[in-house]
Chains A and B, each alone.
Chain A
Amino acid sequence: MSAPLLRLESVTMAFGGLKAVADLDLEVRSGELVGLIGPNGAGKTTVFNVITGVYTPTAGRILLEGRPIQGLKPHAIARHGITRTFQNIRLFSTRCCRDNVCIASHQHTRASLLDTLLRSHRFETDEREMQARASELLDLLGLAPWEDTIASELPYGQQRRLEIARALAGKPKLLLLDEPAAGLNPQESDQLMHLIEDLGPRFGLTILLIEHDMRVVMGICRRIAVLDYGIKIAEGNPAEIRSNPHVIEAYLGEEIPADLGAGG
């Protein structure tokens, strides 16, 4: 398909006088793994919130497969095939891991409320499918031993993984990952990044990844966009980004530019 899966056309998100995102153009093509990076407070999460409908952009258009989705409610956008994870983990903390994942399959259920209340055959098969899919996803993310654990009792690293499993259960076309490696140690973070790299081909997924730490993204993203003060200051492959003077300037004092290429 030549048309991009997701296309942001001069999207602006202003809060009063503050433009958290200004005139942003961004394209994500089907099957890509794109990184969105930038220093703290650059507006990365706001971009996600605008795409997923938490905010309605002040100006501009957001197109998913050519159809405008700006102004739709978040749950409607999720149904159109965009799911996300959250930077500050937002699990359903009183439910077990399996339930957390099943909730995201909710939009694919065929059993009506009446089926549910009366426990019809359709409800039973639906429920079985959902549980099976949840187990599969938990297994894929290495969470099988914690299936019945209450989400808030999970170790931190596993909570991050559960967020991804949950977002995958929504069978998205586009997966938005908001700093999935935040707070992980370098080893955990490397493991997670390799896992994310595999997700795309495995599920036919397109992924847009926010990361604060450049080092992490450089290893897996072919294409990276850099945001600073809500403005896109650079876009290109890792080598281009690494040598871009604007990017180095934006990150100066924040990270050591010489370290940018290491690891990944």
Chain B
Amino acid sequence: MKQIGWLIAVLAVLIVADVAMRRVLSPYQLQVVVLCGINIILAVSLNLINGFTGQFSIGHAGFMALGAYGSAMFSLHIGARWVAKLQALGLPEPIAAALPLLMALLLGGMLAALAGYLVGLPSLRLRGDYLAIVTLGFGEIIRVLILNIDVIGGARGLPGIPGWANVFWVGVGVAAVLALSRNLAHSTHGRALFAIRDDEVAAEALGVDTTSYKVLAFVIGAFFAGVAGGLFAHFLSYLNPNSFTFIKSIEVIAMVVLGGMGSISGSVLAAILLTLLPELLRPVKEYRMVLYSLMLIVLMITRPQGLLGTREISLAWLRRRATPKAA
């Protein structure tokens, strides 16, 4: 029942945050906050694949694109009609949209997870750079497919997606990915993933089915990338295949590496930092990306293990410091 208490508390905080931010922040600032959240989901989910399990995926933008387009198509063709009917019954839009949006996000996530399963399969045979190239190819295939399918807008992009996502919904996504990956990390299944990263041969010899765990990491990681894509689509109301290039995948990898491979809180920190940094550097205009890259280089030289290494900042950690005994 502890879980239900947490759930209610988190939802309450998110509703308050949503209302407050809408009052205080400008639309531009609101967008930066939402992008921070989406990038947190992306970084933490990629961390499951690259950081926890020690595989090397550079196709995260592909999973995101699948989730984005999948959920957008659902909302455009099915969800929007439901919401219109519910609104006709007198429900305000945010409430009427809740269930359809949730379904769209889950659907996008599942579509990406299915792709994650298919991409994860070659990871049984490949490792390191070889696997990286497979995932790179996957990401490009998805992008080029989207570019050439006319029903979903092709190169013109997909406009008119209902803008149901907001700070609240992005917060729900962030909370979900954080809670689940934390629970995973502190469990036997999470330890199995870490074991694979540290020494695959030893993990096998001690009874860890390394192949299914590697695929599992891909499936869970891809699912949340899909959810992030869905939130992205429903916040911007417009999708373009150019948002899901190889560069986007690299951006997420940079967050994972900068945060520290395997550290959930590190990924969160790095995702926020790398989202804010380009925005804060806007005043220097054309030198923006030069400075951004330079800062990345300096950070990586001074902290090659990442901001947090493999350590975590968490509630449990804080609680442990406050009271000697903790769960």
Contacts and interface: CB of A to CB of B under 8 A. Distances in A.
Contact of A116 (B187, B204, B262): B187
B188 A117 contact: no
Contacts of A103: 188, 191-192, 194-195, 203, 206, 208
B199 A127 contact: no
A113 interface: yes
A73 B124 CA distance: 13
Given A106-B188, A113-B189, A92 B199 contact: yes
A170 B216 contact: no
B198 A92 contact: yes
Interface centre among A84, A99, A111 (most CB of B within 10 A): A99
B208 A106 contact: yes
Contact of A170 (B183, B187, B194, B207): B207
A78 B188 contact: no
Contacts of B191: 95, 99, 102-103, 106
A67 B101 CA distance: 54
Contact of A105 (B184, B188, B209): B188
Given A83-B206, A104-B207, A127-B188, A90 B262 contact: no
A166 interface: yes
A93 interface: yes
A75 B188 contact: no
B188 A109 contact: yes
Contacts of A107: 206-208
Contacts of A104: 206-207
A126 interface: yes
B210 interface: yes
A180 interface: no
Contacts of B194: 92, 94-95, 99, 103
B198 A83 contact: no
Chain A interface bracket (under 10, 10 to 19, 20 to 34, 35 or more):
35 or more
Interface in A149-198: 166-167, 169-170
B188 A130 contact: yes
Contacts of B262: 94
A119 interface: yes
A106 B202 CA distance: 13
A92 to B, nearest CB: 4
A109 B194 CA distance: 17
A75 B207 contact: yes
Interface string A79-116: 10001101000111111000100111111010101001
A125 to B, nearest CB: 13
B223 to A, nearest CB: 12
B206 A166 contact: yes
A135 interface: no
A119 B3 contact: yes
A118 interface: yes
A171 B141 CA distance: 46
Nearest to B212: A75
Contacts of B199: 90-93
B202 A91 contact: yes
B206 A78 contact: yes
B242 to A, nearest CB: 34
Contacts of A169: 206
A95 B198 CA distance: 9
Interface in B160-211: 180, 183-184, 187-192, 194-195, 197-199, 201-210
Contact of B205 (A74, A91, A118, A123): A74
A170 B195 CA distance: 14
A118 B206 contact: no
B310 interface: yes
Contacts of B189: 113, 116
B207 A78 contact: yes
A52 interface: yes
A260 B143 CA distance: 69
A54 interface: yes
A167 to B, nearest CB: 7
A106 B192 contact: yes
Interface string B229-249: 000000000000000000000
Nearest to B186: A127
A75 B204 contact: yes
A169 B207 CA distance: 11
Contacts of B209: 73, 75
17 contacts: A74-B204, A75-B208, A75-B209, A79-B207, A84-B205, A90-B201, A92-B198, A92-B202, A103-B191, A103-B206, A111-B188, A113-B216, A117-B180, A118-B183, A123-B187, A130-B188, A170-B206
Chain A to chain B: the 4 pairs with minimum beta-carbon distance, closest first: A107-B207, A78-B207, A92-B198, A74-B204
